[in-house]
Amino acid sequence: MVNKFNSIIIGKGSGLSKLISQDLGISNLPSSQLNNLNLSSLQNIIYTSCDPSNNLIKKDIKTYLEKNILNIYRIIKSGFRGEFTYISSIDTGHFEITRNDLPFQSEKMFTPYSLSKYFAESLILSENKFHKCNILRLGLIFPTKCNNNFDKALNSKPESININLNSSFYITPYSLISRFLNSYKTKQEKLNYGYLSSSNKVYLSDILKLRNIKYKSNNNLYTYRSKDKEKNIDDLVENLNYNWQEEEDYNSLIGKCLNLNGKDAILPH
């Protein structure tokens, strides 16, 4: 269980950092204030801050590097030796990319976001001097923000969705994150590094089918495909005794979509 005293969350958005702060009773600060903190006096740091770099432009490069990579290096070199939790992503690392005109030829490529997460994870793993360290690869956090494309697939008409309906997402309910952060079992390991999400993907098209909504897919729109999980990285759900159906944030429609592709780790029953 996270010690609430001498603890801080680095990240001040309206999403995950806010949920964790309210859940655990820990203050959260924007990453821009990291230099003003005496990190060596802290017992616990949870780092949620990130910039997805969807519209990264030249003048924002310094802020982007600070938030996604340099701050991690500062924490490592600060003398902080408590428990460090880094919120990473399923999309960390390279993607296997194929061209439409050369379907049998593939390349390994990074996006700016996947590269920054890869660098941050590598820094932590190569210089891990923390008493305990958690690196959590999350999927799409649910409940999700209102009016994004996933929320629109659940609640709106397909015409309002501005990505391809073949887009797919792994799901990380907030209750799963809370279970991990409050679990005594996870604290027995010096390093907890792995995936904290559903084992199956949810496709936007499946959501609409289960809502009995007819749609016409626009193949000219961008298709978001969650990166497939790496087999050599642990699944942290297995040891948590977690069943999403028993949690307040359970969504039956998403649950049905997950089970379309076989039994899912977050829906054991």
At 103 the pLDDT is 59
CATH topology of domain 1-138: Rossmann fold (3.40.50)
Residue 162 clears pLDDT 70, i.e. is over it: yes
Using a 10 angstrom Cβ sphere, with 0-12 exposed, 13-18 middle and 19 or more buried, the burial of residue 229 is middle
Percentage with pLDDT > 90 across the chain? 63
User: Could you tell me if 240 and 180 are in contact, meaning their C-beta atoms sit under 8 angstroms apart?
Assistant: yes
- Cβ count near 183 (within 10 Å): 18
At 126 the pLDDT is 94
Domain boundaries, given as residue ranges, for the chain: 1-138, 140-170+200-234+241-269
Q: What is the pTM of this model?
A: 0.90
Of 75-79, 133-137, 181-185, the one with minimum mean pLDDT is 181-185
The whole-angstrom distance between residue 255's C-alpha and the CA centroid of its chain comes to: 19
Q: How far apart are CA 197 and CA 8, in angstroms?
A: 24
Kindly report, residue by residue over 107-130, the tens digit of the pLDDT: 677 777 888 899 999 999 999 999
At 53 the pLDDT is 61
